[in-house]
Structure 1
Amino acid sequence: MCTKKIPSAKVGAKIVEWYSCILSSSYEEATLLKHEVEQMLKRMEEDDKILAYYSLVAYRHDNMMDGDNRSISLEEELNHVEKDMDQYLKYLYYFVSGQNEYNNQRYRSAVKLFRKAERMLEFVDDKTEEYEFYMYMGIAYYRINQYLLATSYLEQAETGFRRLNFPKKYLNSKQVLGAIYSELKEYDKAEDILNEALQECTFPLYSGIILRTLGLSMFSQKKYDSAVSFFEKSLDLEEYNDSIFGMRSRTELAHTLFKLNKHEEAQKILKGAKASANYYNELEFKVRCQFIEGTYVCNDQKMVDNAIQQLNKAGLHFEVCELSEELIEIYEEKGDNKNIIKYFKSAYQGKINQTLLGDDQV
């Protein structure tokens, strides 16, 4: 029987917890966490960065436990090495902490931690690691709608990964750049970037992600038949379909089919999307499913408003704006001025909140 691998990000978060105990000299808790981390590492998916982080924290742990009993003679040389090690360890601490915040959809908090990591970037003596930082920073800025900053970092990441010949990473960076231009409504440029990425992609999972992004671009332009085609093509790829990204495409496919008044088919797909969103515990898409169901199945305004409130609370302001604008269109067709004004205010506040760069998200 094959044992399920533990995501490296989860192990990284546990190492952060362990290192925090070392910093506070919590000997017993640090020892317990060290054992827990070592057990997790046996089942962790491959990730050299996390292994390096573990090695450095284990070194610090041993130093803490040995105390003054350490017998080292090469003091000056060791002090120099340890100084650089300390800076690199701080970099990894903030970077891995930022990844954990990002994975838990606390994007502003992730940016705050990545900015701290950036101050130690000069101590990272590895171009792959440097470009990975740029990629993560760019994607985090993208998630809080800071497109100018996101583009700057992502372009550096794409160029760097191309030089190093890491196709998955430069395709990922390029795909997000395409998504940014689509959200800025520069659709021709977005589709050029995404189609170029699709043509050079030989990895089913990444091809699915690019196809989904093209589907989202079509949806934004109200080209719903084309959007359905792209979402379905993404789900035809087995590796993509069986992943968290497949859940996202199913949610968006259901949404698009409702827009095309194909309610029976849409409800069937929405049911599967809801189950997947709950399985992956993906807040944004659990809420999107709630919005879709409240709008197109139950006609329940309280359910819809609760979905928008949850997105606001999570700091997903682009999504608030996007869904509020959809509601404006729906109520315009009904001639319901009261609700038009209500959701216009919601969309406007969403646009204002997108410009905020505060680190208050917890």
Structure 2
Amino acid sequence: MRGSVSYENQTSYSVITKKLNEWYIAIKNNFDEKAERLKKEVEYLIGSINGNLEFIYYHQLLDFRHELMVSHTQAKNEDDLRNAYESLKEHEGHLNGMLDYYYFFFMGMYDFRKKELVAAISSYRRAEKSLEFVDDEIEHAEFYYKMAEVYYYMKQTYYSIDYIERAILIYNKYETHLDKTIYCNFVIAGNLIDLLDHEKAMLKFEESLNIARNINRSDLIAVSHLNIGICCNAEGLYERAEENLLIALKFFEKEYHPYLLKTIFNLSHVMCKAGDFNAGDSYYEKGFNLALKTDNSEYIAKFNLLRGLYLSEECYDLIDEAFDFFESHEMFGDIDEFAFEVGEVLLKRGDIARSSKYYKRVVAARKEIQKGELISEAQIDNLLVSHPNRVGYFSV
């Protein structure tokens, strides 16, 4: 009978749906080996069905999300990710309901990876319009976490806190998601640092460290030490910052973790601020070479800023190039923090004219931050189509 669906097809679709969902769960939990195994099983099963576009699109979406995971957790080159992105772009505007949500959600994650923060928010907000088609409560929490993360990076503190509180309300219902609670605590603590409440931020980081120890997650123990080190650096507690960053470094070097570069940068930064320029330069060389090797534009800019401010004689071009990078990616939070630091250092050196220039950058960045809602509803679709830096890659 025309249009009928056989029992065999129904069974096949049920099996494929189950495998696709298992694969996505493995991806979200960064279970590399399990995700790779399920990816191969799905590819085999997908080959056995004909013409079901929903399964084909969902498979392509998860393949893209898989490549996002692999490029992050295994610090690999991004050719496969870029190829998956190009394949997926062909379906823009042709997906509905849940698939529409996943498309824009994953695109937002890709934009965030490249530090295209405004494009990331526009993609996420477009995904939010289709979130109602997703029944899984944990997926809602995942989405709220990602929104909180990008708003945190843009120093949109209160938006970030609003979304992270929504995520925590869901994660706290499930004892099996304590690791997600830890990540939420990191975002809360980061926002508290921006509010200059270092004491409460430290309590959140220490709470996360204790949870990580209780669930025996060595990776999250290391990330907790990294964050404690960053918080101590912000407070000027350089000795304690170095101590915690070295604990993180020991783990990340062994695992060649994606946070390795971030840790080395923070060690160089801490040692420079503490006046130990030999140690600062040693970490700079190590980190800068790694940034070049992995083509990490963000950290190339940040290491150059350290070189220009602390480790070279009057190398202001490097500092300005770093700020040009931040501005081109609308990284107003980084401009705010680093321009203030540069202004303070130069003022102490008696270079009042140059310090004034960087204080003005602080004022300009804070004006951008205080605008709050950066993208109007009418701009969302335009940004998704016309953002000039949409194609490319960026390793976090």
Q: How do residues 213-224 of structure 1 correspond to structure 2 at under 5 angstroms? A: 213-224=227-238
After superposition, what is the alpha-carbon deviation per residue over 1:9-46, rounded to whole angstroms, capped at 9, x for unaligned?
Answer: xxxxxxxxxxxxxxxxxxxxx9xx99x969x78x9688
**Equivalent residue number for residue 135 of structure 2:** 125
Q: Structure 1 residue 159: deviation in Å?
A: 2.8
**Equivalent residue number for residue 107 of structure 2:** 97
**How large is the RMSD of aligned CA atoms in angstroms?**
3.1
Q: Structure 1 residue 250: deviation in Å?
A: 0.5
Letter in structure 1 aligned against 2:351: D
Residues of 2 paired with 1:241 and 1:44: CA distance?
19
Call closer, same or farther: CA 1:161–1:281 in 2, change over 3 Å. Answer: farther
Aligned counterpart in structure 1 of residue 317 of structure 2, from 293, 297, 302? 302
Residues of 2 paired with 1:154 and 1:182: CA distance?
15
**Equivalent residue number for residue 204 of structure 2:** 193
After superposition, what is the alpha-carbon deviation per residue over 1:71-116, rounded to whole angstroms, capped at 9, x for unaligned?
Answer: xxxxxxxxxxxxxx83111111111111111111111111111111
**Equivalent residue number for residue 330 of structure 1:** 345
Q: Structure 1 residue 214: deviation in Å?
A: 1.5
Letter in structure 2 aligned against 1:179: G
2:222 touches 2:252 (CA, 8 Å); kept in 1?
Answer: no
Unaligned runs of 5+ in 2: 1-31, 36-52, 71-83, 376-382, 389-396
**Equivalent residue number for residue 151 of structure 1:** 161
**Equivalent residue number for residue 356 of structure 2:** 341
Residues of 2 paired with 1:240 and 1:355: CA distance?
41
Q: Classify the secondary structure of the residue corresponding to 1:163.
A: coil
Call closer, same or farther: CA 1:173–1:281 in 2, change over 3 Å. Answer: farther
Q: Classify the secondary structure of the residue corresponding to 2:96.
A: helix
Under a length normalisation based on structure 2, what TM-score does the superposition of the two structures give? 0.69
Q: How do residues 282-297 of structure 1 correspond to structure 2 at under 5 angstroms? A: 282-297=296-311
- Structure 1 ranges of 4+ moved more than 4 A: 43-47, 238-241
**Equivalent residue number for residue 78 of structure 2:** none
Q: Structure 1 residue 118: deviation in Å?
A: 0.9
1:241 touches 1:247 (CA, 8 Å); kept in 2?
Answer: no
Q: Structure 1 residue 322: deviation in Å?
A: 1.1
Q: Structure 1 residue 274: deviation in Å?
A: 0.9
**Equivalent residue number for residue 358 of structure 1:** 374
Q: Structure 1 residue 175: deviation in Å?
A: 1.0
**Equivalent residue number for residue 183 of structure 1:** 194
Q: How many residues align?
A: 300
Correspondence 1:167 to 2:178: yes
Unaligned runs of 5+ in 1: 9-29, 48-53, 65-84
Residues of 1 paired with 2:255 and 2:366: CA distance?
33
Residues of 1 paired with 2:119 and 2:254: CA distance?
29
Aligned counterpart in structure 2 of residue 86 of structure 1, from 96, 110, 117? 96
Q: Structure 1 residue 166: deviation in Å?
A: 1.1
Q: Classify the secondary structure of the residue corresponding to 1:296.
A: helix
**Equivalent residue number for residue 110 of structure 1:** 120
Residues of 1 paired with 2:218 and 2:289: CA distance?
23
Q: Structure 1 residue 305: deviation in Å?
A: 1.2
1:324 touches 1:347 (CA, 8 Å); kept in 2?
Answer: yes
Call closer, same or farther: CA 1:333–1:281 in 2, change over 3 Å. Answer: same
**Equivalent residue number for residue 278 of structure 1:** 292
Letter in structure 1 aligned against 2:356: I
Call closer, same or farther: CA 1:342–1:46 in 2, change over 3 Å. Answer: closer
